[in-house]
Amino acid sequence: MEIVHTSVLLEECLEWLSPEGEDYGPHPLLIDSTLGEGGHTYAFLSKYNNLSVIGIDADSVIQQKAKIRLADFGDRVSFYNGWFDDFYANYPTDRENPNLILFDLGISLFHYEESGRGFSFRYDEPLDMRLSPSARISATDIVNKTKEKDLADLIYMYGEERFSRRIARAVVEARQHEIIENAKNLADIIYRAVPAEYRHGAIHPATKTFQALRIAVNGELERLPRVLESAFDVLKVNGKMGVITFHSLEDRIVKVFFRNLSKKCICPPEQAVCTCGGKKRAEILAKVVPGEEEIKRNSPSRSARLRVVKKIRCD
């Protein structure tokens, strides 16, 4: 079995989410909320012999790869196939609460190279982009059924694409002649729609549009605020939660959430007198970025950010 994805900020995760110390007891529990091919979990189980892990993934295909990779760890690892926000929202009251929680919000290289679902603009694949079959709509649905203005807004909001209106207009014109249901075909439409100088920049001109479609299809930015709150709720006191982000939209959500956890008062800034009676719930431990060596070895890591908090009290 070939592993195609390289886990980012691996050593930093092992350090900042270490289960060592009296706060974690003899048998600490980590929940890997975005298991993927199991890279982070493999490293944690290998380094910390008393640790057990629950691995969550919405994609049963990539989770099967992780199961094979992690088989030697036996009952130290268990699996949940489904969306992570559903998992935490319905966390069983009779299950042990985790000492550690990790989210890696990046999309695995597996999805670009092996899934065959049109995540990459380089391949002649069906334009799907669903991480799970339970997702209500595919990228083909969005591209072919969304009104031009709404499509432009979606591409701008989720992809931060400055030529979103030109791209949306070109997509609408193209779909009048035939259904757009192939990733490479969509990439070609986008390529022709943008100015000539934009076609030869640092990234392919379809990159941001494909990001926007993937986020919309899988509800990524809608799920994130929900799951951060519910995951933090089930985390044990003195436990740690780390989140790896890859673009500014999701990093902003995480940063604001962690900042609010660490505040004593969460009243609106324009309010002169505190009425919330709030107390800080967490301590911010770290914001970590990849070093030069990691970026050289694994260029997709260049935009990664790891933020870590420690829970200090319950509500």
Mark whether 174 and 256 lie in a shared domain.
Answer: no
Looking at 187, 218, 249, the residue that finishes a domain is 218
Domain stops at, among 200, 218, 236: 218
Please determine, for residue 227, whether its predicted confidence score (pLDDT) is greater than 70. yes
pTM: 0.92
Residues 301/9, Cβ–Cβ less than 8 Å: yes
166 lies in the same domain as 225: no
- pLDDT for 127 equals 97
pLDDT in tens, 257-285: 999 999 876 666 677 676 666 678 999 99
Mean pLDDT of the 31-53 span: 97
CA neighbours within 13 Å on the CB side: how many for 263?
15
Residue 152: its pLDDT value, please? 98
SS3 label, residue 219 = coil
**d(C-alpha 71, C-alpha 311), whole Å:** 31
Read off the CATH number of the domain in which 173 is found: 1.10.150.170
Q: Considering only 24-28, 68-72, 306-310, which range has the smallest mean pLDDT?
A: 24-28
- State the residue range of the domain holding 51: 10-110+221-311
Instruction: Name which of 249, 301, 244 is nearest 109 in CA terms.
Output: 301
| Residues forming a β-bridge with 126 | 182
Identify the CATH number of the domain in which residue 23 sits: 3.40.50.150
**Please, what is the average pLDDT of the chain?**
93
